[in-house]
Amino acid sequence: MSDQYAVIGNPIGHTKSPLIHVLFAQETGQDLTYVPIEGPVEPEHAFAETVRQFIAAGGKGMNVTAPFKLQAFAMSDERSERATLAGAVNAMKFEDGRIIAENFDGVGLVRDIEENLHQPMADKRVLILGAGGAVRGALLPFIAARPGELVVANRDVEKAKALVNQVMAGDFLRACEYPELESMGQFDLVVNATSASLTGQLPPVPSSVFSPTGSAYELAYGKGLTPFLRLARNAGVQGVADGVGMLVEQAAEAFAWWRRIRPQTRAVIDRLTVPLA
Ligand code: ATR
């Protein structure tokens, strides 16, 4: 029988993960199945039971999406450092009766920015908007990319400060409120990791942070030019991107972790890309 993998979330109808992993399997010649599972939201223990049933049926690994990333973290036996900082898990491997947990969202994001968009972060001024789960997942991989300055801006600045204090990476990393950005000049890269775009909103970021020669990255994908990307475009930024590349790259990380072979991502990204207009 083929090795079995799945993505679990609720709702799950929108997921692109099965398509991505089937394309990776074809390209690398791996024999596997990958199915979407709509996980139960209630009662609380039902999520873990569903995962355990999948393992009992021979499942080898699972991706986890909203709203289960914290529950997946809680039920894991081993967690990577980046999953621990995020407090959230987006990929699990089932091995010798143990659940090993990872969070590839941040590495996928950094890889998309550096490899696909050709924007190395080393020594650059980088601004991340938000301090929720997405930023917690991204912070360690961003720090590993050695930016010259890394600023985390959030409406609730205490949340951003707590996160920055937790990693204690050095003076290049700091938290601030949105109004402070007015006097901080231009950044080479501005990443919108807030959930504002999901509701068509714009984080209160001043357009002075954008550099025409820099880039703007929106974590949400398939939403065209969001208010954030529009603001960046209007400020003259040429390099604007949404999160489709991150989605494919985090999937590639999970695939490589499970199968010990790294798939090519370019053709899959091209296939899933919805033009920004
Ligand atoms: P996720 O796990 O997707 O990151 P989350 O943990 O709920 O979701 O975090 C959402 C983030 O988006 C938070 O940083 C939130 O800011 P606050 O912590 O100040 O609430 C941010 N956010 C949501 N809507 C926003 C908006 N309209 N403008 C600015 N930030 C917003």
Q: Is there a cis peptide before residue 263, judged by omega within 30 degrees of 0?
A: no
pLDDT at 18 over 90: yes
What are 83-119's pLDDT values in tens digits?
Answer: 999 999 999 999 999 999 999 999 999 999 999 999 9
Q: Tens of pLDDT along 203-242? A: 999 999 999 999 999 999 988 999 999 999 999 999 999 9
The DSSP result for the chain, as a single string, is --EEEEEEESS-TT--HHHHHHHHHHHHT--EEEEEEE---SSTTHHHHHHHHHHHTTEEEEEE-TT-HHHHHHH-SEE-HHHHHHT--SEEEEETTEEEEE--HHHHHHHIIIIIS----TT-EEEEE--SHHHHHHHHHHHHT--SEEEEE-SSHHHHHHHHHHH---TTEEEE-GGGGGGS--EEEEEE-SSGGGGT------GGGEEEEEEEEESS-SS-S-HHHHHHHHTT--EEE-THHHHHHHHHHHHHHHHS-PPP-HHHHHHHPPP--
Angle at the Cα of 215 from the Cα atoms of 14 and 247, rounded to 5 degrees: 25
Spacing, Cα 261 to ligand 1 middle (Å): 35
Q: Identify the residue whose C-alpha is closest to ligand 1 atom 21.
A: 194
CA of 31 to the centre of ligand 1 (A): 39
Is 243 annotated in a binding site? The answer is yes
The rounded Å distance from CA 134 to ligand 1 centre is 9
- Using 50, 70 and 90 to split pLDDT, how confident is the model at 1? confident
Work out the average pLDDT over 169-196: 97
Check the annotation: does 105 bind a ligand: yes
When pLDDT is averaged across residues 249-273 and rounded to a whole number, the result is 97
pLDDT in tens, 187-211: 999 999 999 998 999 999 999 999 9
Question: Among residues 268, 235, 232, 233, which one has the least CA distance to residue 250?
Answer: 268
Tell me what the mean pLDDT of segment 181-189 comes to.
98
Q: Is 194 in the pocket of ligand 1 (CB under 6 A)?
A: yes
Asked whether 109 lines ligand 1 (CB < 6 A), one says no
CA of 170 to the centre of ligand 1 (A): 25
Looking at residue 105, its pLDDT comes to: 94
- 237 and 192 in a common domain: yes
Residues 124 and 214 in one domain: yes
272 is in an annotated binding site: no
Mean pLDDT of the chain: 96
Pocket test of ligand 1: the residue of 68, 73, 194, 247 to mutate, having most ligand atoms within 8 Å of its CB, is 194
Of the pLDDT bands very low, low, confident and very high (cuts 50, 70, 90), residue 277 is confident
- For residues 223 and 148, membership in a common domain is answered with yes
Average pLDDT over residues 53-59: 97
- Are residues 63 and 147 located together in one domain of the fold? no
Segments forming the whole domain that contains residue 129: 109-242
Residue nearest to atom 12 of ligand 1 (CA): 194
Statement to judge: residues 98 and 123 lie in one domain:
no
Question: Looking at ligand 1, which atom is closest to the CA of residue 201?
Answer: 27
Q: 28 and 57 share a domain?
A: yes
Q: What confidence score (pLDDT) does residue 213 get?
A: 95
Pairing of strands 239-241, 98-102: unpaired
* CA–CA distance, 273 with 180 (Å, rounded to integer): 34
Catalytic residue among 69, 93, 124, 159: 69
CATH number (domain holding residue 91): 3.40.50.10860
Whether residue 152 is found in the same domain as residue 238: yes
The answer to whether residue 277 sits within a structural domain is: no
pLDDT of residue 169: 87
Q: What is the pLDDT of residue 168?
A: 86
Whether residue 127 sits in one domain with residue 48? no
Number of domains in the chain: 2
60 catalytically annotated: no
